[in-house]
Amino acid sequence: MTLIKSISGIRGTIGGKTGDNLTPVDTVKFAAAYGTWLKKQSAGKNLKVIVGRDARISGKMIQELTMNTLTGLGIDVVDLGLSTTPTVEVAVPLEKADGGIILTASHNPKQWNALKLLNSKGEFLDGAAGAEILKIAEEEEFDFAEVDDLGEISVIEDYIEKHIDEVLKLNLVDAEKVSKANLKVVVDAVNSTGGIAIPALLKRMGVKVVELYCEPNGHFPHNPEPLKEHLKDICELVKKEKADFGIVVDPDVDRLAFIDENGEMFGEEYTLVACADYVLSKTPGNTVSNLSSSRALRDVTQKHNGKYEASAVGEVNVVHLMKENNAVIGGEGNGGIIYPESHYGRDSLVGSALFLTFLAENGKKVSELRNEYPSYFMSKNKIELTPDIDVDEILRSVKEKHSKEEISTVDGVKIDFPENWVHLRKSNTEPIIRIYTEAKSQQEADDLAQKMIEEIKSIIA
């Protein structure tokens, strides 16, 4: 597997040859590049970096390598241990740190891990910073500290609880109201750190919790991407337990999906739609999601007299446009909720708390709430590639074939047909082409996706 380097960090599989996988040598090199970049920004000040990890089997090894590399550069480290991506993001400004590193490969299988890099605001790095770090790594421009100037490691073990405290302080989160609603929720945390964070949050809000795969041991019981085909167990358990709904998170807890009381998917796209509906009803304003997200957010935003904008895919792009448009909520259709009142990062704790408050306030069943929103259906597919395939040439060919349609090339190729759309883009984190379609029925969306897959295969052939 090729080691994937991008502006947001470095990702790869554990083991194998240096330069082809995320080996200890590659981990040290890229941690050193990030630390060196921080030192260049600091003008000689003492630096502090927050480091946390999800529950992957390789996490402890990668974290020790990362932290010791930073201290070798003379940078102090705050070790959060088992944590979540949004927890590290929250911790960076609260601890007045200069940056942060989250050790997680997000929804990728257990053999993967990654270093995800944050700036002093606890936000993902922009393109310029990421490119500079990759250049430093390539040229190995490292200058390590002498023995008297080594950094130190301190440990904070309860930062998830601190994160929950911050969530419960939000004006639109009402734990007392949720507690009075007597809700029962099943949680599937794919045996990662969401098994620590989400049940703890729900219990603080007075919710009865049924835990499924909440042991943070890194042995994922199913594919960790929270898609319908991977979630049979929680769908069945929600019905068996007669729960009000189910919550599913990915290994680093920045993606959030719901299961309704009938054991049916609420729809990952509609996580953001529902949370936005609630937030906009209390604080009217604008919203942002990416080009691959559902038109339903646009419809809900316009219902509340707000303005909707679409960014290129990628959290940093969504955040940039949210700041430009003063969006009150935004995110990505994969279940990523970004609520600026808390912080500019996808946060499943914030999303869960907002959704719970919304339910407690309106008294509706989750299925009833879903039925109130415009019915769009999405199909999310991907084609695995080999290193010798020219992805850009594939996308150019598709664009030329559909040149008579409305096309956006802001991020990959998005083709807007009169009744549906398809978005093709190469992933920044995996060697694949992602294919997103949306239509007015699931069959139509699936058929459009399969048509595009066959079209791409014919180009490759």
Q: What is the pLDDT of residues 87-137, one digit of tens each?
A: 999 999 999 999 999 999 999 999 999 999 999 999 999 989 999 999 999
431 within 8 A of 4, measured Cβ to Cβ: yes
Q: What is the pLDDT of residues 3-15, one digit of tens each?
A: 888 767 899 999 9
pLDDT band at residue 313 under the 50/70/90 scheme: confident
Q: Mean pLDDT over residues 433-446, rounded?
A: 94
3-state secondary structure 274-338: HHHHHHHHHCCCEEEEECCCCCHHHHHHHHCCCCEEEECCCHHHHHHHHHHHCEEEEEECCCEEE
Which pLDDT belongs to residue 410?
86
Spatial distance between the Cα atoms of 318 and 123, rounded to a whole number of angstroms: 12
Strands of the 208-212 sheet, one edge to the other: 208-212, 184-188, 245-249, 256-259
Which pLDDT belongs to residue 2?
66
Q: What is the pLDDT of residues 389-412, one digit of tens each?
A: 888 889 999 999 999 998 988 899
Residue 325 has pLDDT above 60, yes or no: yes
201 within 8 A of 193, measured Cβ to Cβ: no
Residue 430 has pLDDT above 90, yes or no: no
Residue 1 has pLDDT above 70, yes or no: no
**Any catalytic annotation for residue 106?**
yes
Which pLDDT belongs to residue 428?
64
43 within 8 A of 138, measured Cβ to Cβ: no
Which pLDDT belongs to residue 391?
84
Domains belonging to the chain, first-starting first, are: 4-157 (3.40.120.10), 163-371 (3.40.120.10), 377-460 (3.30.310.50)
Which pLDDT belongs to residue 42?
85
pLDDT band at residue 37 under the 50/70/90 scheme: very high
Spatial distance between the Cα atoms of 351 and 336, rounded to a whole number of angstroms: 8
Residue 453 has pLDDT above 80, yes or no: yes
Q: What is the pLDDT of residues 45-103, one digit of tens each?
A: 899 999 999 999 999 999 999 999 999 999 999 999 999 999 999 999 999 999 999 99
Please tell me which residue in 106, 348, 352, 379 is annotated as part of the active site: 106
88 within 8 A of 102, measured Cβ to Cβ: yes
CA torsion sign for 6, 7, 13, 15 is positive
Spatial distance between the Cα atoms of 84 and 32, rounded to a whole number of angstroms: 22
Strands 336-338 and 327-332: antiparallel
Q: What is the pLDDT of residues 154-212, one digit of tens each?
A: 999 999 999 999 999 999 999 999 999 999 999 999 999 999 999 999 999 999 999 99
